[in-house]
Amino acid sequence: MLDSRIGSPATRAQIIDADFDVSPYLAQLKAAGVRTIGRYYDRAYGTGIGESCYRHPLKTLTKAELTAIENAGLSVYVVFQHCGAQCVNFDLQNKETAEKGRKDAYAAIQLAHDLGQPADTPIYFAIDFDPYPGNGCGLPAERIWHSIDAYFDQVNEVLGGTRWQVGVYGAGITCQRLKASGKAKYFWLSSSLGHLGSPEFFNAGQWHLFQNVIEIKRSYARNTIDTDLANPAAPYFGQWTSHGSTTPHNPAVAADILASRAFVKKGCVIAPTSGNEKPRAASKAVRFNSTCRILTPEINGHFGVSLTEDDAIEGYVHGSDLVLGGLLRNAPASAESKGRCFSP
């Protein structure tokens, strides 16, 4: 891992996703190395269960924004999300949410048609929660899975008569079950590696996209962005323009991007001194995300890292507090991401 890839502009994240109109920021994003942008499909909101949740007023991709993205030489991929962060909003036994899959799918294909989304490209559908009782989900396990399965049965029923493919965004166990059942063909693994089955699905290499760092603040944008990484074994993950599906990302570059990052064990980032010369002991260790971008060779046992996919060193981590060897097939199990930090 300690080679020319470390800290190189060539290993900047090439994929982001955002829940707002990115048109004003395309020059900055492109200059930062971004090639593909994940954007949202959604539908009109009603009232009551399944209809009340936060959404950015500019969440849904529009034709004007798509044209701006295309004119900048970039591509998009899309995810449909409508109050997708709570399991009760998918409950098949509640008449208010029992038809959610059909409602979402019909809205998705209308947008895909209006925006000129090409044939055979996927629409990811978001299951943005840990599908496990007690993990913020008040439904029993069998009811959670029954509802998710029924949701994707409805999505496939609607999309089956169209030219578009079905993808899923969610936890590892959600992706794994839908892959096994054939109800989804594209898999975008959420950043929450503590979710059920996520380390296992990541390490099996069955994903197309991995959302590695979320809620990143950049000086030029009012809202936060997330960065995503492509699987070198699946460099086409559904990116397109209205002129057609686009060239897959370079698998060798995708491999280098993964190799120049590491999983951080819990609570082990140490603040740098001013000037970023060497690490110092911190009164309180900090850790913001599950991965970091390696920016320096080893310095007294530590590596300079960015926690926000930036080019600047934001902290130092001792080698024993990293899972070295790059990200690919290297996600730690939950039990490994615990314990005390190595003192500098």
Per-residue pLDDT of the chain (344 residues; tens, 9 = 90+): 446 788 899 999 999 999 999 999 999 999 999 999 999 999 999 999 999 899 999 999 999 999 999 999 999 999 999 999 999 999 999 999 999 999 999 999 999 999 999 999 999 999 999 998 877 788 888 899 999 999 999 999 999 989 999 999 999 999 999 999 999 999 999 998 889 999 999 999 999 999 999 999 999 999 999 999 999 999 999 999 999 888 999 999 999 999 999 998 866 677 665 454 555 544 344 554 579 999 999 988 889 999 899 999 888 888 888 999 999 999 988 655 555 565 54
Written as one string, the DSSP assignment of 206-245 is --SEEEEEEEE--TT-SS-EEEEEE-TT---SS-EETTEE
- Return the amino acid letter for 134: G
How far, in Å, CA of 154 to CA of 151, rounded? 5
Chain centre to alpha carbon of residue 88:
22
- Say if CB 266 and CB 287 are below 8 A apart: yes
Q: How far apart are CA 171 and CA 188, in angstroms?
A: 9
DSSP conformational letter for 249: P
CATH T-level topology, domain 260-344 = SH3 type barrels. (2.30.30)
Using alpha carbons, select from 217, 95, 96, 228 the residue that is nearest to residue 167: 228
Domain residue ranges in the chain: 9-258, 260-344
Q: Please state whether the predicted TM-score (pTM) of the whole model is above 0.75.
A: yes
Half-sphere exposure of 308 (CA within 13 A, CB side): 14
Percent helix / strand / coil, the chain, rounded to 5: 25, 20, 50
Q: Would you mind telling me the total number of residues written for the chain in this entry?
A: 344
How far is residue 249's CA from residue 242's CA, in Å, rounded to a whole number? 18
Q: Which numeric CATH code is attached to 9-258?
A: 3.20.20.80
